[in-house]
Each structure stands twice: as structure tokens, then as C-alpha cells.
């Protein structure tokens, strides 16, 4: 069986707070799956249940077809980064990794490989107490990679990374998926997953709102509109409408055309001798697609609401 995470019908309450309310999804190998939703949607709780750190009131979570607690060498099945702050401040990153590796029968050589992979370099010998959040994230990613697992699960790995770190993390996650691994990455910001995720599990209030490929989501939100710039607006409108297009003016010299592909628009205008400057197919951003999808879900907010300052 290919390595996956399977979550089915998870329910979990903390006192009167419903954290999980029927959370269900499957993480596929060879893909980066974005696990998105506002703060409080239940992402971290789901991840803790997957690792056996929280017990659900109802439902199951399987890693490689088994509950985490039943895995004989868990780090060789799944690597996880849940809380980058969970470090001994007096211990260096390298010692932290050596300690983890020894407890699992892994070699010093493996420790140095993951230090290299995570871009920790010489900082790995400094005490972890002085690390920035970005360095802690890299150390957490290095620890998750120790057992060379086919499944990676990272909770908000972009938090605290500088722009260079974000570029690195995106490429790193893509390379893990390209190697055939199943990668689950949570984020409360959809924009962080642009050009990174192949698939999305969108959550709100403890359950899944949408489970879709990024390509499908963007295609659905983009529609099939073509944007066109031309000095001869009315001439262009006539030609395109006659060919069956629906044409709307969006600016003084800009038209938005529906029902005709961009190549056809170019051919029609060229044949009719109508001058034009620019033709582009509209492609929605992931953020736009997300807004579109969640527009009617009133309970859902794309961004956490800022606390009002008195």
C-alpha cells in the first residue's frame, strides 16, 4: 500500500469547545496537500490526533494504514513538525538531532545529512535557545526528515520564515512530493500555499469545507474570460459579438470577453484588421479562488480577524 494519512469522522471536544466536528480526508502520496482554514478551525488538533497525542471522542486516524501508536518505527513512517518551540534552549540543534537519532537507532551521518538538507549549516552547533523562529522551523523540518519517512506533516511551517526561507521551504516541500512522499502542510493563509500545494483540504469549524485539486479550484474561479486592450473598442466588440462572444467593457480601452478562447480572439481581430495591444486569459490567484469558494460560507474567514486595540 502507498503511504497515506487517512482521517475519518473525527470528533473532539475540549469542555464546551467543539474542536473537531466530523473531520475526514485522505492525504495522497506524491503531492503537497495544503491543510488550510482560519485559526481555530481544528488543524492542529487533527495533527495531534494523527500522532496519537490527543484522543478523539469519535473517529479514526491512520498512518500507513495503522494507528500511530501501533507503528513499530514511527519516525520511518511519518515525520512531523508541530511545535517548533519545543526545544531544550541549552542544547545545540545538532545535539537535539543526535539525541533524537540515538533514541531511534539512527546514525550520526544521517543527522549531518538532515542538517545539510534543512540548510542549518554551521548554526547547527550553536545553542538552540538563541535561534530565531525561522531557524527553529528549519530544525523542526530537519528532525522530521531523520527517519527518511514517506509521509511528512508540518503545522504552519512558514511561520517566522524570512522571504528567503519561504522560497526555500516551498522548493523543499515540492521536492519531497516529487520524490513520491505524501506531504501535509497546514496554514491559516492561503497565499502561502500558492505555487506550493497540489491539493487542498479546506477546513472551518472542525470539518472539511472543500477537498479539491488546486488546478480545479483555480480553473473554476478563473472562468474562461479573456482580457483585451484595444483603441478600437466598438469595432472589436462588433467582431467578437458576431463570433458568439459575450463582451463587456471594463475600462476605457479594455474589454473582457467570455465564450471565446484567447487564440480565437486574436485570429478574429487580426482577420478583421482591428488593432489590439494585449490579449490575456484571466487566471485567478489561489487567494481569489479561495475567496470565491468561501464567499457563501458565512462562518468562514479567509484571514484571522485582528484584535481591536482600545
Rounded to a whole number of angstroms, the minimum distance from the CB of residue 56 to ligand ADP is 12
Confirm or reject binding of residue 196 to ligand ADP (CB under 6 A). Answer: no
| Residue 37 vs 74, nearer CB to ligand ADP | 37
Distance of closest approach, residue 7 Cβ to ligand ADP, in angstroms:
13
- Contact range with ligand ADP by CB under 6 A, out of 43-51, 90-98, 103-111, 227-235: 43-51
Q: What angle, 0 to 180 degrees and rounded to 10, lies between the N-to-C axes of helices 214-222 and 286-294?
A: 80
- Nearer residue to ligand ADP within complex by CB, 19 or 144: 19
If we measure between CA atoms, which residue out of 130, 128, 101, 132 comes closest to residue 114?
Answer: 101
Among 188, 178, 153, CA closest to 46? 153
Quote the CA–CA distance of 226 and 59 in Å, as a whole number. 46
Cα separation, 161 vs 82, in Å, equals: 15
- Among 19, 146, 184, 260, the residue binding ligand ADP under the rule CB under 6 A is 19
- In the complex, what is the shortest distance from the CB of residue 272 to ligand ADP, in angstroms, rounded to a whole number? 54
Nearer CB in complex with ligand ADP: 45/92: 45
Separation of alpha carbons 129 and 89, rounded Å: 4
Q: Which of the ranges 33-41, 82-90, 92-100, 273-281 carries the binding residues for ligand ADP, by CB under 6 A?
A: 33-41
CA–CA separation, 226 vs 55, rounded Å?
51
37 near ligand ADP (CB under 6 A): yes
Choose the binding region for ligand ADP from 32-40, 157-165, 170-178, 252-260 (rule: CB under 6 A). 32-40
**Which helix (H) or strand (E) covers residue 84, if one does?**
none
Residue closer to ligand ADP, measured from CB, 42 or 165: 42
Residue 44 CA: distances (Å) to CA of 22, 61, 149 = 15, 14, 20
Size (the chain), residues: 310
Residues 190 and 215: beta-carbon distance below 8 Å: no
Output the smallest distance, CB 23 to ligand ADP, in A: 10
Choose, by CB under 6 A, the member of 3, 7, 27, 41 that binds ligand ADP: 41
Residue 26 and residue 9 in contact, taking contact as beta carbons nearer than 8 Å: no
* Residue 46 or 230 having the CB closest to ligand ADP: 46
All three cell numbers of 135, joined, read 531557524
Give the binding range for ligand ADP (CB under 6 A) out of 12-20, 57-65, 94-102, 227-235: 12-20
Q: Which residues bind ligand ADP (CB under 6 A)?
A: 14, 17, 19, 37, 39-45
Amino acid at each position: 500500500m502507498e503511504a497515506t494519512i487517512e482521517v475519518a469522522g473525527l470528533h473532539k471536544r475540549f469542555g464546551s469547545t467543539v474542536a473537531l466536528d466530523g473531520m475526514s480526508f485522505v492525504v495522497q502520496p506524491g503531492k503537497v496537500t495544503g491543510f488550510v482554514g482560519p485559526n481555530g478551525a481544528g488543524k492542529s488538533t487533527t495533527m495531534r490526533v494523527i500522532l496519537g497525542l490527543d484522543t478523539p471522542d469519535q473517529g479514526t486516524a491512520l498512518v500507513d494504514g495503522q494507528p500511530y501508536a501501533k507503528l513499530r518505527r514511527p519516525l520511518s513512517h511519518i515525520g512531523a513538525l508541530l511545535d517548533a518551540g519545543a526545544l531544550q534552549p541549552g542544547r545545540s540543534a545538532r545535539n537535539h538531532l543526535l539525541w533524537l537519532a540515538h533514541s531511534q537507532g539512527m546514525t550520526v551521518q544521517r543527522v549531518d545529512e538532515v542538517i545539510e538538507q534543512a540548510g542549518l549549516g554551521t548554526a547547527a552547533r550553536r545553542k538552540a535557545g538563541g535561534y530565531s523562529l525561522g531557524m527553529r522551523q528549519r530544525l523542526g523540518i530537519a528532525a522530521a526528515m531523520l527517519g527518511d519517512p514517506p509521509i511528512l506533516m508540518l503545522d504552519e511551517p512558514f511561520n517566522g520564515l524570512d522571504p528567503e526561507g519561504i522560497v526555500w521551504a516551498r522548493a523543499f516541500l515540492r521536492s519531497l512530493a516529487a520524490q513520491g512522499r505524501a506531504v501535509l502542510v497546514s496554514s491559516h493563509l492561503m497565499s502561502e500555499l500558492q505555487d506550493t500545494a497540489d491539493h487542498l483540504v479546506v477546513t472551518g469549524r472542525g470539518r472539511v469545507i472543500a477537498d479539491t485539486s488546486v488546478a480545479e479550484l483555480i480553473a473554476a474561479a478563473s472562468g474562461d474570460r479573456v482580457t483585451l486592450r484595444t483603441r478600437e473598442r466598438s469595432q472589436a466588440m462588433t467582431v467578437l459579438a458576431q463570433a458568439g462572444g459575450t463582451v463587456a467593457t471594463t475600462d476605457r480601452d479594455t474589454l473582457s470577453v467570455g465564450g471565446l478562447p484567447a487564440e480565437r480572439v486574436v485570429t478574429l481581430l487580426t482577420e478583421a484588421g482591428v488593432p489590439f495591444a494585449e490579449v490575456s486569459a484571466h487566471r485567478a490567484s489561489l487567494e481569489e479562488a479561495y475567496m470565491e469558494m468561501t464567499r457563501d460560507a458565512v462562518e468562514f474567514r479567509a484571514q484571522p480577524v485582528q484584535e481591536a486595540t482600545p
